[in-house]
Every structure is written in C-alpha cells, then in structure tokens.
Structure 1
Amino acid sequence: MYEQMNSQFLSLGKNFADAAVKAQSVALASFEKIADLQLKAVENHVNASSAFLSEAAEVRDFDGAKAIWPKGIQLAKESAEKLYSTNQEVFGLTLKTNEALGNLIKGSFEATNETVTRQVNAVKKAASGK
C-alpha cells in the first residue's frame, strides 16, 4: 500500500511538472510574439517621427510651418491608429494564450482525476477482496 501511494504521488508530481513545462512554453511563445509586435510598432513610430522631425527642422518661415502642419496632424493620426491596432493584436494574443493555458490546466485536472479515480477503484477492489 505504501508503494502504491508513493507511485501515486510520483505520478501526480510528474503530471504537474509536465503541465508546468507546457504552460511555461505557451507563455514564453506568447510573450515573444507580443514583444515582437510592440518592438515593430515602436520602430515604425520612431522612423516616422524621425522623418517628420528632420523635415520640420528645415522649416524657416511661416509658410513652411503651414505646409508641414497637416503632415504633423497626419503623423499623430497614423500613430494613434497603429497604437490601437497593435493593442488589439496584443489583446488577441493574450486571449489565445489564456485559452491555451486554460485548456492545459483543464487537461491536467482531467488526467489527474482519471488517475486518482482508477487508483481509488483499485484500492476499493483490493479492500473488498480481502
């Protein structure tokens, strides 16, 4: 009986460790995708802002400022739209990751429940057979 309990605890520990490794893998893959999305968004924003600022630095009079004003407004609008789009993508990835982690946890609980139920039934049979 003692050996049976040890094997049961070892089995449960192995199942838990396997689930933890899978969860970590899913979380890290999602983190990598999110970091990549955000890095690309920042890079695009910096490039667009640098181009605008270099053009703005060449303005020397009021007419030049009037000419560049719509470009500044357009840059702000595009930046806000890209920020919103990137946040939507990050949110979608986060939902997918949470769903995958939930499925992992659910599968782990189901597997553990089946293992424990089988072992309890085996112990009941052994006890009633005595």
Structure 2
Amino acid sequence: MTKPFDFEVFAYARQFADNAFKAQALVLQGLGQAAGLQLGALEQQSRSATDFLLAAGDARDPEALRGLWDKGVALGRVQAEQAVALTQSLAAVGRQTAESLGALVQPLAAANDAVAATAAGGRKAAAR
C-alpha cells in the first residue's frame, strides 16, 4: 500500500539531489565566469594606471604636464566605460545562471505534484 508512495518519494528525492548538484555546478560556473571577468578588468585597469603613472614620472616640463592632464581625463573616461561594460557582462552572467537554475526547478515542480497526488490518494485509501 505504501510502495507507490515510497517509490514516488524516493524518485523525488533522487531528482532533487541530482538537481541540487547541477545547481551547485551552475552557480560555481557563474561565479568562475564573474571572477574571470573581474580579474580581467582589474588587470586592464592596472596596466592603464601603471602607464599613466610612468608618463607622470617622465613629465619634466609644462607641456608634458598639460599632455598628462589630457591622458588623465582619457584614462578616467576609458575606465568608466570599462566599468559599465564589466557591469553589463556580470549582469548577463547572472541572468544566464538564473535562467539555468529556473530550468532546473521546473521538473521538480512536476515531481512535487506527483508526490502530492500519490499522498492524497494514500490518505483517501487509508480513510476508507
């Protein structure tokens, strides 16, 4: 009498565990992509800042200092553009990860309904 219910519960538990492992892998993959994007941006900004500081160290006359001002403004603009691009890339990775996680939840909802239906049928049979 409880075999159908046990079978449904064990199948649901197995599916839940499988999806939990898949979800963990998806989250770790998303975190890896995000970390890679951030490290790449940090490396690029560090190179730009180092180049600017080297140019500032080489400035010896007023004309070089004026050119340094223009380089500083350009550096600020480029870094702001890179920050916006990084934010958009991180949002895309987050959206992709969330969509993948959502796809994992849909089969669980169907399995949950099957277990609930089996449990309801068992309660009706036990009430008789």
Q: Percent identity at matched positions?
A: 27
What's the counterpart of residue 64 of structure 1? 64
- Post-superposition offset of 1:13: 1.8
Deviation per residue, 1:49-93 (Å, 9 max, x gap):
101111111112322111211111101100000000010010011
What's the counterpart of residue 88 of structure 1? 88
1:51 maps to a residue whose letter is: D
What's the counterpart of residue 105 of structure 2? 105
Query: 5+ unaligned residues in a row in structure 1: which ranges?
Result: none
- Post-superposition offset of 1:8: 3.6
2:70 maps to a residue whose letter is: P
TM-score w.r.t. structure 1 length? 0.83
Q: CA RMSD in A?
A: 2.5
Give the number of aligned pairs.
Answer: 127
Deviation per residue, 1:27-61 (Å, 9 max, x gap):
11111111111110000000111011111111123
Q: For 1:121 and 1:72, how far apart are their aligned partners in 2?
A: 70
Larger RCO (alpha carbons 8 Å, 6+ apart): 2
TM-score w.r.t. structure 2 length? 0.84
Deviates more, 1:94-103 or 1:83-92: 94-103
What's the counterpart of residue 12 of structure 2? 12
Q: For 1:89 and 1:78, how far apart are their aligned partners in 2?
A: 16
